[in-house]
Amino acid sequence: MDAIIEQKINSWLNGAYDEETKNKIKELQQSAPEEVADAFYRNLEFGTGGLRGIMGIGTNRMNKYTVGIATQGYANYLKQSFPSEEIRVAIAHDSRNNSRFFAETVANVFGANGIKVFLFEALRPTPELSFTIRQLGCKGGVVCTASHNPKEYNGYKAYWDDGGQLVPPHDKAVIAEVEKIADVADVKWTGGEENITIVGAAMDEAYIKMAKGLSVYPEVIQQQKDLKIVYTPIHGTGITLVPQVLKEYGFENVTIVEEQATPDGNFPTVVYPNPEEKEAMSLGLKKAAEIDADILCATDPDADRVGIGVKNIKGEWVLMNGNQTAVLAFNYMIESRKEKGLQQPNDMVVKTIVTTNMIDVIAGKSGVKCYNVLTGFKWIAELIKEKEANENYVVGGEESYGLMIGSQLRDKDAVSAVAILCEMAAYEKSKGRSLYQKMLDLYVQFGYYQEDLISITKKGRNGQQEIAEMMEGFRAAPPKELAGSKVVQLLDYELQLKTDLTSGNTETITLPKSNVLQFITEDGSKISARPSGTEPKIKFYFSVNTALPSIDKFEETQQKAKDKIKAIIGEMKLG
């Protein structure tokens, strides 16, 4: 076994760890040496979503000790950053196994470090944590969640005083503080219980009031209050707030998918508790068809991702992908505010670089500034902070089912997104059409955009190396042509360089460094390659576009676009 791994294992066997943990390590050394090696070969690091990993013993796992060490490092950094101020933090957790235990561990460590802690009484959505940080003037916060990952995972998202997740230099600085902790005995585990305050109903009421204030057409909801809504929290935290917010909006006909209504970290009805997965939406689709609903909405375990289902023009239930949902939401917030005279000259919207460019086109045609940032909502939050003195943020989103409407919190918010999406369905119904028909109208108006995503997982100790080699291969030798169209631009966000492959001219990319490559073809196709910051995966995003002359040409146009993406995947040898 690698000497560094041996050293880490021995530090746990000889350190101030509980006997149960030590005995488990010894047992695994005998019965599953590869498993124990994987558990100790590295330390969990903050990525785009913070700390995330499989639960279990070891430095590469989510457990009391890795959570405690991370919190001690974070506490040390907060105290350095705000030396003469009262430091407050807010803490929330989702429905996952051990989430409450981890949240209480975090609260105890912060409290023992003399930090004022506001701990939610029970599970709450991630967006409410972001909102709470801003409401209570906190310097930071933590939510214990692994978002949409399988049940074996848990995680730790760390936030800063604006309510957004940690960005440079804070993320790396916290990691540096964590790495300074040489011994688990350096963690202050107990002794500050008086610093912990339990929060709950009052914060819920403040959040619900904020969410209601996002409504643009409350009078339309009154006309359409019987809109048939089906909602599933997929065993997660959404059940604590989504029904209440929908009720506050004025919707009176909401059906909850009962089989998925109870919070449960084992996610018994799904493989992946992720509204991106059709399988996770199957019970919702069944219920929606059964009652002939107008819209199906779903949220992931920590209620920051939202998925929707609607009926197509044949009356069949279909799921909208993240790009389509984002297009509908961005267009509604721009269009409805314009209709109501609420649009301001300094309005802005924000999306990520891998999200459909259809949003850029819609915003541009309406005279609204559209910014593109790196993947991850922390970058949307950071841009709002940078621009808020001079520009008015309206909506932000990303293709991975994330939306954030209004600027009173700084992370993706599926709770208020569900309410606005239902308002959109009500608005379209009042015009005699569905959200699906609205999507088709937008394609005719702005062009048809087809997106797809492939995730390639490389597990184990060699996985990260294999992913690095794939990226270097594309970086060194980008494809010359894809689906019959010449590749004309290479955007390398790691080198912060945009290269015109025809002329050889280069421009500087002003976004922060990130290991992302994008290939742009002559006909406007966009292919992005991006290793995940939290999982051993590399993701490839594909986007092609063309004109849609009329709705009756939709299926033909869609099939051609899908065939084109399939050809690109084949040519890049990813299939």
Give the count of beta carbons closer than 10 Å to the beta carbon of residue 176.
13
CA 159 – CA 377 distance, rounded (Å): 12
Q: Sort 21 into a burial class: Cβ within 10 Å, 0-12 / 13-18 / 19+.
A: middle
Counts of helices then strands in the chain (DSSP H, E): 18, 23
Which residues on adjacent β-strands are paired with residue 295?
Answer: 229
Taking the C-alpha atoms of 516, 519, 525 and 530 in order, what is their torsion angle to the nearest 10 degrees? -20
CA 120 – CA 103 distance, rounded (Å): 9
CA distances 31 to 28, 39, 59, 109, Å, are: 5, 14, 19, 34
- For 432, the token pair is 């005699």
Task: Say if CB 120 and CB 92 are below 8 A apart.
Answer: yes
Which residues on adjacent β-strands are paired with residue 199?
Answer: 120
Task: Say if CB 312 and CB 324 are below 8 A apart.
Answer: no
Task: Say if CB 459 and CB 257 are below 8 A apart.
Answer: no
Of 538, 543, 539, the closest CA to residue 527 belongs to 543
Task: Say if CB 278 and CB 271 are below 8 A apart.
Answer: no
Phi, psi of 72 (to 5 degrees): -65, -45
Does the active-site annotation cover 503?
A: no
CA distances 2 to 35, 282, 289, Å, are: 13, 45, 56
Q: Is residue 159 helix, strand or coil? A: strand
Taking the C-alpha atoms of 409, 413, 419 and 421 in order, what is their torsion angle to the nearest 10 degrees? 120
Give the count of beta carbons closer than 10 Å to the beta carbon of residue 518.
21
Contacts of 537 (CB under 8 A, 6+ apart): 455, 456, 457, 458, 467, 531
Task: Say if CB 519 and CB 434 are below 8 A apart.
Answer: no
Instruction: Name the active-site residue from 147, 215, 400, 514.
Output: 147
CA 360 – CA 370 distance, rounded (Å): 6
Residues noted as catalytic:
147
